[in-house]
Structure 1
Amino acid sequence: MSKHNRRYKDSVFVDFFGEDKNAKSNFLSLYNALHDTYLDASTELEALRIEQVMYMAFRNDIAYLIDGKIIALSEHQSTINANMPLRFLQYAARLYERIQNPRDRYLKYLKKIPTPEFYVFYNGEEDYPESTTLRLSDAFMTVSEKPVLELVVSVTNINYNKGSRILHTCKPLKEYTLFVEAVRRHLQLDSENGFKNAIKECIQNDILREYLLRKSKEVMNMLIAEYDYDVDIAVQREEEREIALQEGISEGSYQAKLETAKTMLAMRYPLEDICKITGLTKAEVEQL
């Protein structure tokens, strides 16, 4: 597996539902499953993309302008972030800045704007409910019966064993979920060839077959980037703790290094790289 880097690369989720030549069809299938509609290829659809180099926090987000709505999607393959409503609030503000004329905010009459909807699809390995709702108001320090600002995020667990209804009504999402499961299973069996073997198996089993036949090399690169990104986040958190240590806040620093090392060991990073990044000795890492 390659060393981690901080240059943005699309995830398979973003490519499949947002960038690929068939992304429009895949997204429409997902939209119809979410709204019980039957929109077809003739539907007007505009992809909204924020410059990812500037906003790495939104690397795994997709947004479309459709049917008078902004549909924002995000995928999580690790623990759900309880702060997603706040993150989507910041994301939505930038999307509206992109699609609205700056002068519209000063108009005398009311200027209508697309209605936003926010969705998170979770397919991580930790136990999580089939569906839940996150609200921005839950983060407010002062509780109010009628919050003056609210943002609601719908979270769906799309792991296949959860039996979510949407997997039965949206074939592209179902196949994507099965693909992710295959990747994880093959990585556990063979860390060096797991990605390649998972792609091969899915093609044989008619899971994302056409997509993988066209883009197997690109998918390999995206998968490597996705798994590197998870380690990179752990590294960045460790760096933040080191800065805090220099400022006199030392609690948890050593434990954070151990947690980062555990994450990298699980992803089969070389021992020398782990020691270099965390600052731990070989003996300390080998004891984990």
Structure 2
Amino acid sequence: MATVNRKYKDSVFVDLFSDDEKAKERFLSLYNALHHTNLPLSCPVENIRLDNIIYMNIINDVSCLVDDKIIVLAEHQSTVNENMPLRFLQYIARLYEKLQIPADRYLRKLSKIPTPEFYVFYNGREDYPETTVLKLSDAFITKPEQVPLELKVQVLNINSGKGGKILKTCKTLDEYSLFVEEVRIQTQLDPENGFTNAVKVCIEKGILREYLQRKSREVVNMLIAEYDYDTDIAVQREEAGKIALAKGISQGSLQKALETARNLLQFGLSVENIAQATGLSQADVEALNHNYKL
């Protein structure tokens, strides 16, 4: 199976709701479903996505400014990462830097900013609740009675049979869920041609028909990119388990240290300082740094 450069390849989810020529219409449909509103197609929507921030190797998020809100969407096709609130915190800080005039930070008068909202759409294979909320404060080592900083991420399960209300009110998201399910079926039946077969079957069934007819080759390439990404994650977890065994520590502790190191790398800290902060060896951090730059 051919591979592609994931750095410059979006997922089908991102293309549908952010980049495609009909993305604005679909995004507003999803926004209205989430907020029980009826914003018209004439409503201004500004794409303000930051590339390659939430995920290190695949651009897999949607970020739009609409109705005085910043709506940040992300998709998960594997286990939901409980560190998403921290990643979203890093993301929104950079977005505000991008949107706000630097001089406004020093004004005496309060500088108003758009309200952020964070959503993760889960369509992995593991059993997961219909809805749940991840909170930044859950990661705090100590919690005062009054939490000084909070960020909440709403996780919505969009698997067929689990998606509930959101799939009933957003046609595109419902069809996307059916499309993902068809991809799973066809890739199990024919690993070599599964992506292409899934696109054909969905067109026949009327699932995302217009979109898939128009962009079938691009969609197959995006599916290949997503498949490679999930494979990379599985390999990284296997390698983490081997390192944990060699070091005589729990895999969970190592995963947490690796995740912390990845986050610190995004802030530009030195390998030596990250190693000291996490307890990892400099060689382990160097390896993470190398993968981060790829």
TM-score (norm 2): 0.80
Q: Specify the alignment match of 1:81 in structure 2.
A: 81
Q: Specify the alignment match of 2:134 in structure 1.
A: 134
Q: Specify the alignment match of 1:278 in structure 2.
A: none
Contact 1:11/1:226 (8 A) holds in 2: yes
Q: CA deviation at 1:116?
A: 0.2
Contact 1:131/1:156 (8 A) holds in 2: yes
Contact 2:85/2:135 (8 A) holds in 1: yes
Q: Specify the alignment match of 1:162 in structure 2.
A: 162
Contact 1:159/1:177 (8 A) holds in 2: yes
Q: Specify the alignment match of 1:71 in structure 2.
A: 71
Within-5 A mapping of 1:179-194 = 179-194=179-194
SS in 1 for 2:247: coil
What is the CA deviation profile of residues 247-287 of structure 1, one whole-angstrom value per residue up to 9, with x for unaligned ones?
Answer: x836689xx9xxxxxxxxxxxxxxxxxxxxxxxxxxxxxxx
Q: Specify the alignment match of 1:104 in structure 2.
A: 104
SS in 2 for 1:81: coil
What is the CA deviation profile of residues 133-181 of structure 1, one whole-angstrom value per residue up to 9, with x for unaligned ones?
Answer: 1110111111222201000011110111114101010001000000000
Q: Specify the alignment match of 2:273 in structure 1.
A: none
Contact 2:10/2:58 (8 A) holds in 1: no
Within-5 A mapping of 1:18-37 = 18-37=18-37
Aligned equivalents of 1:134, 1:100: Cα separation in 2: 27
Q: Specify the alignment match of 2:14 in structure 1.
A: 14
Aligned residue type for 1:148: P
1:58 to 1:195, Cα distance in 2 relative to 1, 3 A: closer
Aligned equivalents of 2:70, 2:118: Cα separation in 1: 8
Within-5 A mapping of 1:144-159 = 144-159=144-159
What is the CA deviation profile of residues 54-95 of structure 1, one whole-angstrom value per residue up to 9, with x for unaligned ones?
Answer: 962672111000010000001001101111111100010111
Q: CA deviation at 1:8?
A: 3.6
1:57 to 1:143, Cα distance in 2 relative to 1, 3 A: farther
Gaps of 5+ in 1: 257-288
Aligned residue type for 1:110: L
SS in 2 for 1:105: helix
Contact 2:4/2:221 (8 A) holds in 1: no
Aligned equivalents of 1:154, 1:197: Cα separation in 2: 33
Aligned residue type for 1:128: Y
1:79 to 1:237, Cα distance in 2 relative to 1, 3 A: closer
Contact 2:7/2:59 (8 A) holds in 1: no
SS in 2 for 1:161: coil
Within-5 A mapping of 1:1-288 = 1-3=1-3, 7-52=7-52, 56=56, 59-237=59-237, 249=247
Gaps of 5+ in 2: 255-294
Q: Count residues in correspondence.
A: 252
1:112 to 1:31, Cα distance in 2 relative to 1, 3 A: same
Aligned residue type for 2:152: V
SS in 2 for 1:127: coil
1:155 to 1:55, Cα distance in 2 relative to 1, 3 A: closer
Range with greater deviation from structure 2 (44-53 or 199-208): 44-53
Contact 1:6/1:232 (8 A) holds in 2: no
Aligned equivalents of 2:58, 2:73: Cα separation in 1: 10
SS in 2 for 1:116: strand
Aligned residue type for 1:106: Y
Contact 1:5/1:232 (8 A) holds in 2: no
Q: CA deviation at 1:7?
A: 3.1
Aligned equivalents of 1:216, 1:6: Cα separation in 2: 18
Contact 2:4/2:224 (8 A) holds in 1: no
Contact 1:123/1:158 (8 A) holds in 2: yes
What is the CA deviation profile of residues 98-146 of structure 1, one whole-angstrom value per residue up to 9, with x for unaligned ones?
Answer: 1111111111110000000000110111000000011101111112222
Contact 1:5/1:228 (8 A) holds in 2: no
| Percent identity for Structure 1 against Structure 2 | 64
1:219 to 1:54, Cα distance in 2 relative to 1, 3 A: same
